[in-house]
């Protein structure tokens, strides 16, 4: 078998070539922290996602941390009862980057793990429904690989919960995999949930590092704007009208979670390329869908007809206990593969939250992600397909 001499990577950093001059101007301007470029980038994201309530951050982890923090307060206008740290529960997926779990734990709350859907690697909505009760207030989810969860079915479940318990659980969408993904013809992040995106180096849209959060209303947007920068209102700094460097009374403490102008400039010049990158990833995934669907020993994941995946990952199930052998043979053929994220529930720091997750017990022994990105050429796609066929047959 012909073997590539260079590894076909699972990830690659995209950087627009026209960013060099503008980033140099920012570096030499003396304005490096949150400034005009952050505002410009946020405006561009609001237009792209079609949501007026978007704030940039220094990471998606920051956004996921802010999400639960924002929901602790009672909101009578939105019929939200608030969140009691001691009594209430956050439901969260066990199959995800540990950043999701770390952000929830940072809020000093109790969690319950959600099992996975064997067909999608997303949360199992039947398991979710069975775990909802009067104490389950917040639900975290991940759109695995960029393939959106069935948000209509999820909303239906939450509406039923409202009828039974008097409030609708709040949804926090971890969209780290899913920039540019669509559900029912609209971009993920344009709905009424709290959505958090990663702009880390290997994501479709990168700012070097960073993230952003979308909020469902103006009240949460304005509060989040304060909390991302210590709780200080940057627009009203002038202590008693005497000192522009000093802040006025801080009503609620926050964090140093803001983005800076360096990262924002990178984002501004990468953003116009995203539709092209997404189109290429989807084209590559479509080829895999056609060429790998009838291979013995391989099972493909399913997508909802309402969804348009971002395909940050392309995940397959390697059956019959052959996963380790498959991964090793792909490595020998210079094709990088990985499960990408380990199950979070096995870590010592969450030993108090033991849960039986039968689907994940099965799936973790089978799932493998293969390269699908915009950097692959036609010959690379063909090589990956032929290599898989030779390995599993």
CA gap 242, 237 in Å, rounded:
10
Look up tokens 């952050």; give the residue: 38
> CB atoms < 10 A from the CB of 378, how many?
10
CA gap 169, 138 in Å, rounded:
5
| Per-residue pLDDT of the chain in tens (393 residues, 90 and over written 9) | 567 778 999 999 999 999 999 999 999 999 899 999 999 999 999 999 999 999 999 999 999 999 999 999 999 988 999 999 999 999 999 999 999 999 999 999 999 999 999 999 999 999 999 999 999 999 999 999 999 999 999 999 999 999 999 999 999 999 999 999 999 999 999 999 999 999 999 999 999 999 999 999 999 999 999 999 999 998 877 666 677 778 788 999 999 999 999 999 999 999 999 999 999 999 999 999 999 999 999 999 999 899 999 999 999 999 999 999 999 999 999 999 999 999 999 999 999 999 999 999 999 999 999 999 999 999 999 999 999 999 986
For residue 291 the two structure tokens come to 């060429």
HSE toward the beta carbon, residue 64, CA cutoff 13 A = 27
Q: How far is CA 264 from CA 47, 160, 212, in A?
A: 15, 41, 11
Helical pair 261-270 and 36-49, crossing angle rounded to 10 deg: 40
pLDDT at 241: 66
pLDDT at 249: 86
Please spell the DSSP secondary structure of 345-387, one letter per residue.
GGSGGGTTS----HHHHHHTTTEEEE--STT--HHHHHHHHHH
Question: 230: phi > 0 → left, psi -120 to 50 → alpha, else beta; which?
Answer: left
For residue 250 the two structure tokens come to 């801080």
Task: Return the percent helix, strand and coil in the chain, to nearest 5.
Answer: 40, 15, 45
pLDDT at 292: 97
> Would the CA dihedral through 176, 178, 183, 186 be positive or negative?
positive
> CB atoms < 10 A from the CB of 291, how many?
16
**H or E segment to which residue 25 belongs:** helix 20-29
Q: How far is CA 109 from CA 72, 90, 194, 204, 207, in A?
A: 10, 7, 18, 31, 31
pTM for this one?
0.96
Look up tokens 């207030």; give the residue: 137
pLDDT at 239: 64
For 114-143, b/e burial (b = at least 16 CB within 10 A) is: bbbbbbbbbbbbebbeebbeeebbbbbbbb
């Amino acid at each position: 078998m012909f073997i590539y001499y260079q590894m076909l990577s699972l990830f690659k950093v995209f950087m627009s070539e026209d960013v060099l001059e503008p980033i140099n101007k920012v570096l030499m301007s003396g304005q490096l922290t949150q400034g005009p470029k952050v505002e410009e980038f946020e405006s561009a994201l609001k237009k792209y996602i079609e949501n007026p309530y978007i704030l940039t951050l220094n990471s998606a982890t920051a956004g996921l941390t802010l999400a639960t923090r924002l929901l602790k307060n009672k909101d009578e206008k939105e019929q939200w009862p608030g969140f009691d740290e001691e009594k209430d529960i956050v439901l969260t997926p066990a199959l995800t980057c540990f950043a999701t779990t770390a952000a929830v734990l940072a809020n000093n709350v109790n969690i319950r793990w959600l099992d996975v859907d064997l067909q999608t690697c997303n949360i199992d909505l039947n398991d979710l429904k069975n775990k909802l009760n009067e104490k389950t207030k917040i639900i975290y989810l991940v759109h695995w690989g960029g393939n959106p969860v069935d948000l209509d079915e999820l909303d239906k479940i939450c509406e039923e919960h409202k009828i039974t318990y008097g409030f609708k659980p709040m949804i926090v969408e971890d969209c780290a995999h899913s920039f540019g993904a669509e559900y029912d013809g609209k971009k993920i992040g344009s709905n009424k949930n709290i959505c958090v995106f990663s702009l880390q180096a290997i994501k479709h849209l990168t700012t070097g590092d960073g993230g952003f959060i979308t909020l469902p209303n103006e009240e949460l947007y304005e509060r989040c704007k304060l909390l991302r920068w210590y709780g200080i209102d940057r627009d009203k700094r002038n202590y008693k009208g005497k000192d522009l460097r000093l802040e006025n009374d801080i009503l609620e403490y926050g964090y140093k979670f803001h983005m800076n102008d360096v990262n924002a400039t990178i984002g501004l010049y990468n953003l116009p390329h995203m539709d092209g990158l997404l189109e290429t990833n989807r084209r590559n995934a479509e080829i895999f869908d056609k060429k790998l669907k009838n291979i013995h020993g391989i099972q493909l994941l399913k997508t909802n007809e309402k969804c348009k995946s971002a395909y940050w990952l392309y995940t397959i199930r390697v059956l019959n206990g052959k996963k380790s052998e498959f991964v090793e043979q792909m490595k020998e053929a210079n094709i990088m593969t990985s499960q990408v994220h380990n199950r979070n529930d096995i870590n010592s720091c969450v030993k108090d939250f033991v849960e039986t997750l039968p689907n994940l017990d099965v799936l973790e022994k089978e799932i493998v992600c293969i390269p699908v990105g915009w950097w692959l050429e036609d010959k690379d796609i063909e090589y990956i397909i032929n290599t898989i066929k030779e390995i599993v047959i």
